[in-house]
Amino acid sequence: TRQLAGMYAALMTGLEDDGSFSPERQRALDAYVLRQGLSGLYVGGSSGESGLLDVEELLAQQSVVAEDAGDAVLIAHVGAPSLRDSVRLAKNAAELGYAGLSALPPHSYPFSDAEILAYYRELQAATNLPLIVYEVPIRTGRPIGLETLVAIMDLPNVAGLKFTSTDMFKLSMLRRRCPDSTIFFGFDEIYLSGAVLGADGGIGTTYNLLGRLYAALDRAIQSGDLAEAQRLQNISAVFVEALLETGVLPGMKAAFRAIGIDVGLTRAPMLMRVDDGDARMTELVKRPEIA
Ligand code: NAY
């Protein structure tokens, strides 16, 4: 099997009521997510509000999660506005025993493909861990060109790609161009479509709460049970539809409050987009197919 392949929660971050990083709330969330039967955790990604945390907080979170993880596989997302910070986060994760790394492409300025390739070349050389590139145009503002992505995936320590895009033909081309690479699909609500075109696993926000559902979806796909896979995917899609109205992370945090796990609010400027978000999520998590 391809390196690190599997289903991972894009771990969220526990914050105190005053907005600071909360090791205690993180541990409560970790305990819940680790019971879901997934392969592991993707730590410090977009779902972890990493773009809103500082490097010291991200280093602290890496340690807390490493202590909690048991035999779960840990992938540290280390993408940061500067390469220096990415390398620092990567070396820390390696020392803590993480199994892999991942990083957004540089995105704080409109960088060229050559700059993006140079960033990944240096980052993959900074540790011995396998690195997962991240294609996520809705976050970075632009897709990475196919040839540049292939060139990055050909670097020695680059094990694969996290593909969070609806360009399914590009996914299919990458699958055929990079047969030995691991490809994770990043849109939870259409994971099935990515798996059909050859994704080896998924990494997603809603896996935090619905990890059991995504583990079951993966099993249905592996055993070729399309009807069951569609049934599970539709439950996930209904959940994501509700989250798109509240804002994905504010809604997820409300859903966790509703099941008695308080991980705080999202950090400003990320806000709940509706007035009745907590009430909506409380209703939603009561549905038998969700809970
Ligand atoms: C991460 O932490 O980097 C991710 O969570 C990636 C996966 C998510 N994609 C983005 C762009 O945030 O789970 C998805 C996404 O929230 C979900 O599919 C709802 O659209």
Q: Which residues contact 189 (CB under 8 A, 6 or more apart)?
A: 206, 233, 236, 237, 240, 241
pLDDT per residue as tens digits for the range 184-212: 999 999 999 999 999 999 999 999 999 99
Q: Are 34 and 72 in contact (CB under 8 A)?
A: yes
The pairing of beta strand 131-135 with beta strand 100-103: parallel
Q: Which atom of ligand 1 is nearest to the CA of 50?
A: 2
Tokens linked to 23: 């090791």
Q: Which atom of ligand 1 is nearest to the CA of 134?
A: 3
> Is domain 7-225 in CATH 3.20.20.70, yes or no?
yes
pLDDT per residue as tens digits for the range 103-124: 999 989 999 999 999 999 999 9
pLDDT per residue as tens digits for the range 171-186: 999 999 999 999 999 9
Candidate list 32, 42, 98, 134, residue with the active-site label: 134
Q: Which residues contact 19 (CB under 8 A, 6 or more apart)?
A: 264, 265, 267, 268
Domain range annotation of the chain: 7-225
Residue 71 Rama label (left phi>0; alpha psi -120 to 50; beta): alpha
The pairing of beta strand 201-204 with beta strand 7-10: parallel
Distance of alpha carbon 171 from the chain centroid: 17
Is the C-beta atom of 136 inside 6 A of ligand 1? Answer: yes
Let me know if 268 is exposed, middle or buried by CB neighbors in 10 A (0-12, 13-18, 19+).
Answer: exposed
pLDDT of residue 1: 74
Best mutation site among 164, 185, 190 for ligand 1 pocket (most ligand atoms within 8 Å of CB): 164
Which residue's alpha carbon is nearest to atom 16 within ligand 1?
Answer: 205
Full-model pTM? 0.97
pLDDT per residue as tens digits for the range 232-266: 999 999 999 999 999 999 999 999 999 999 999 99
Which residue's alpha carbon is nearest to atom 20 within ligand 1?
Answer: 187
Is the C-beta atom of 189 inside 6 A of ligand 1? Answer: yes
Q: Which residues contact 286 (CB under 8 A, 6 or more apart)?
A: none
Is the C-beta atom of 46 inside 6 A of ligand 1? Answer: yes
